[in-house]
Amino acid sequence: MSYDVIVIGLGGMGSAAAYRLAQRGKRVLGLEKFTPAHAQGSSHGGSRITRQAYIEDPAYVPLMLRAHEMWDQIEHDSGEQIFHRVGGLIVGPQDSGAITGSRASVEQFGLKHELLDASQIRTRFPALRPLDDEIGLYEPGAGFVVPETSVTAHLRLAEQAGAELHFEEPVTHWEPGKVTTPLGTYEADHVVVCPGPWAPDLLAHLEVPFEVERQVQYYFTPAESLAGYPIYIWDRADGTMFYGFPEHDGAVKVAFHTGGQICTPETIDRTVHAHEIEAITTAVTQPMPAVAGTFQRAATCMYTNTADRNFVIARDEGVTVACGFSGHGFKFVPVVGEILADLTIDGATRHPIALFDPARLRGGA
């Protein structure tokens, strides 16, 4: 069978790419190792922060402006609610990376925000107890998206636009023009590879070192209701960085952003241990005593980190790749889908993607 484009991996990014390519009239085959919106990769767990106050680098802001426009569009096209615009609060000492980084992006792009001192945070959000030297940057347009709903909505829209999607059909070999699975070999003019934490296996030819990091999502029944609270990111002077969400699906979720074990999708320890639950409970008890009410459950997930934590998006002859999202990719899903369709069909994109060139990462870890 021959197609215009084969998309390998139908997780967060691949589902969006399949939709945008099919929408632009391409004959698309999507191949996925697991079932739709599965929990084995990086796009599960019920919630992902989205914000435009971009701690990591203001260069991401133009992409976030487009992503927020496109989240609205995908909700309209699919009839699903994906984006919960609950607002976002970044908390830390004045000179912490989270505060200086987010301030730089809101100032550079004139983004709507408020700066709050510790007592203003306590008054406005009584369940949060910042230390006296911690401040907050509040972004009213921030919130969270639901990754599973995003994946299923994009997959359904892709099929409606004519894409053929195969699940539980892992790719065992691919090269430009040709993709092999246990069920056969398919041909296409172009291959788009969105492998998430399987990047070291499927994209070895890039010669880019990726580090897959295990991260745990913890769910609690809070001691008092956090309904109406924003998402938050807390960057503490002691080096801990954690983030969390208001109530969603009967729980509040919190997680550390750093310090996970290096693993592979085959070796990851899926068991969450008592000492880990104790560590997150200890970290949140002083700043948010209500959050760590009763522990409900936990779920592991994987980050695919590059050395500088910026993404990898690139096009070569017959191949476009998107990987290395380094634990902060989900909020970009719709715009990454658009970029991958642009690169595949037009050979270029109007979006600023120079930061994602894999050449920067070659020649040493």
Ligand X SMILES: Cc1cc2nc3c(=O)[nH]c(=O)nc-3n(C[C@H](O)[C@H](O)[C@H](O)COP(=O)(O)OP(=O)(O)OC[C@H]3O[C@@H](n4cnc5c(N)ncnc54)[C@H](O)[C@@H]3O)c2cc1C
Number of residues forming the site for ligand X (CB under 6 A): 38
Mode of pairing for the β-strands spanning 231-235 and 88-93: parallel
Q: For the segment 231-260, give every residue that binds ligand X (CB under 6 A).
A: 255
3-state secondary structure of 270: coil
User: Does residue 2 contact residue 188 with C-beta atoms inside 8 Å?
Assistant: yes
**Contact pick of 43, 305, 344, 349 for ligand X (by CB under 6 A):** 43
320 in contact with ligand X (CB under 6 A): no
358 in contact with ligand X (CB under 6 A): no
In degrees, to the nearest 5, what angle opens at C-alpha 61 toward C-alphas 60 and 64?
90
**Contact pick of 196, 222, 334, 337 for ligand X (by CB under 6 A):** 196
219 in contact with ligand X (CB under 6 A): no
Nearest residue to ligand X, using CB? Answer: 11
CB of 26 to ligand X, least distance (A): 19
CB of 112 to ligand X, least distance (A): 20
What distance in Å separates the CA atoms of residue 134 and residue 173, rounded to the nearest whole number?
A: 51
Judged by beta carbon, residue 130 or residue 197, the one nearer ligand X is 197
Q: For the segment 85-144, give every residue that binds ligand X (CB under 6 A).
A: none
CB of 113 to ligand X, least distance (A): 18
CB of 13 to ligand X, least distance (A): 4
214 in contact with ligand X (CB under 6 A): no
Helices (H), the chain: 12-23, 61-78, 97-109, 118-124, 147-160, 199-202, 274-285, 333-346
Left if phi > 0, otherwise alpha if psi is -120 to 50, otherwise beta: which for 168? left
Q: In what order do the strands lie in the sheet with 143-145?
A: 48-50, 143-145, 83-84
272 in contact with ligand X (CB under 6 A): no
Q: For the segment 7-36, give every residue that binds ligand X (CB under 6 A).
A: 8-14, 31-34
* Residues constituting the chain: 365
Question: Which residues are registered as beta bridge partners of 165?
Answer: 30
- Dihedral angle, C-alpha 285, 289, 294, 295, nearest 10 °: -40
**Contact pick of 48, 103, 113, 248 for ligand X (by CB under 6 A):** 48
CB of 117 to ligand X, least distance (A): 26
Residues sharing a CB contact under 8 Å with residue 237, sequence separation 6 or more, in sequence order: 92, 93, 96, 131, 133
Q: For the segment 166-195, give every residue that binds ligand X (CB under 6 A).
A: 170-171, 194-195
3-state secondary structure of 297: strand
User: Does residue 196 contact residue 271 with C-beta atoms inside 8 Å?
Assistant: no
Tell me the per-residue interface mask from 280 to 309 with ligand X, x by CB under 6 A, - otherwise.
---------------------xxx------
What distance in Å separates the CA atoms of residue 248 and residue 84, rounded to the nearest whole number?
A: 10
CB of 38 to ligand X, least distance (A): 6
Tokens, residue 98: 């989270």
User: Does residue 340 contact residue 312 with C-beta atoms inside 8 Å?
Assistant: no
Stretch that binds ligand X, among 42-50, 54-62, 270-278, 349-357 (CB under 6 A): 42-50
Binding residues (CB under 6 A) for ligand X: these are 8-14, 31-34, 41-43, 45, 48-49, 170-171, 194-198, 202, 215, 217, 255, 301-303, 323, 325, 327-331
